[in-house]
């Protein structure tokens, strides 16, 4: 009898424990996790590339640092995707809002922490690679210069949008 009472008490305790429920749309959460992982891949890969270029010493006989074709292709794809994705989403979000441009930009970025993280990551990682490329351009492979100039172009577009007419 005592054992049955213990089992009944255990069942009651289990019944009182609320199930773990993730608030929000599960599909949206999954897509945000995928986007966050992709953003982390972008930042990690390009920071690693900048570090390798910065630390490269050509005393070993090689004039420029070389990366495998796989790294070059992956780095190009993630950089293009983050640049295009952040620019497109930011532009779409700005168009959805009304008011002055600066208020629309603030509202768009504030509404999405992932968009904010993407914009900041692109600015920081692009700026870092630009500085590394300018400081060590002889050792930097073409892909670093291409990314650095692409990031500079993205920043120029952001700069120009500040002065656009409302």
- Per-residue pLDDT band for 165 (boundaries 50, 70, 90) equals very low
Tell me the pLDDT band of 70, cut-offs 50, 70 and 90.
Answer: very high
Domain assignment present for residue 15? The answer is no
Yes or no: say if 85 and 117 are a contact pair by the CB < 8 Å rule.
Answer: no
In a domain, 121, yes or no: yes
Is 17 contained in some domain? no
Identify whether 12 is part of a domain: no
In a domain, 116, yes or no: yes
pTM: 0.74
Domain annotation covers residue 81: yes
Cα–Cα distance measured from residue 125 to residue 90, given in angstroms and rounded to the nearest whole number: 18
Looking at the predicted structure, is the pLDDT value of residue 25 above 60? yes
Q: Report the alpha-carbon angle 92-157-135, nearest 5.
A: 135
Contacts of 86 (CB under 8 A, 6+ apart): 115, 118, 119, 122
Q: Which tokens hold the place of 30? A: 């999954």
Rounded Cα–Cα distance for residues 79 and 142 (Å): 14
Alpha-carbon Rg for the chain, nearest whole angstrom, is 24
Most confident of 1-5, 8-12, 35-39, 152-156: 35-39
- Is 61 part of a structural domain of the chain? no
The dihedral region occupied by 99, where left means phi > 0, alpha psi between -120 and 50, and beta the remainder, is left
- Per residue in 80-119, pLDDT (tens digit) is 999 998 888 777 766 666 667 667 666 766 777 888 888 8
Single out the residue of 155, 115, 143 nearest to residue 48, CA to CA.
143
- Give the residue numbers spanning the domain of 117: 24-52+71-162
- Residue at 19 is within a domain: no
Specify whether the CB–CB gap between 141 and 65 falls below 8 A: yes
Question: Total structural domains in the chain?
Answer: 1
């Amino acid at each position: 009898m005592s054992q049955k009472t213990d089992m009944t008490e255990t069942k009651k305790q289990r019944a009182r424990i609320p199930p773990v429920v993730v608030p929000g749309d599960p599909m949206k959460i999954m897509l945000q996790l995928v986007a966050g992982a992709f953003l982390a891949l972008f930042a990690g890969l390009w920071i690693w590339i900048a570090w390798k270029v910065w630390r490269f010493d050509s005393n070993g006989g090689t004039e420029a640092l070389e990366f495998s074709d796989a790294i070059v292709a992956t780095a190009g794809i993630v950089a293009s995707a983050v640049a295009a994705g952040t620019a497109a989403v930011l532009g779409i979000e700005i168009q959805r809002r009304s008011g002055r441009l600066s208020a629309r930009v603030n509202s768009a970025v504030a509404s999405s922490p992932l968009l904010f993280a993407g914009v900041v990551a692109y600015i920081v990682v692009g700026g870092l690679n630009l500085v590394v490329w300018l400081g060590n351009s002889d050792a930097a492979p073409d892909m670093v210069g291409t990314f650095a100039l692409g990031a500079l172009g993205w920043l120029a577009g952001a700069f120009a949008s500040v002065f656009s007419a409302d």
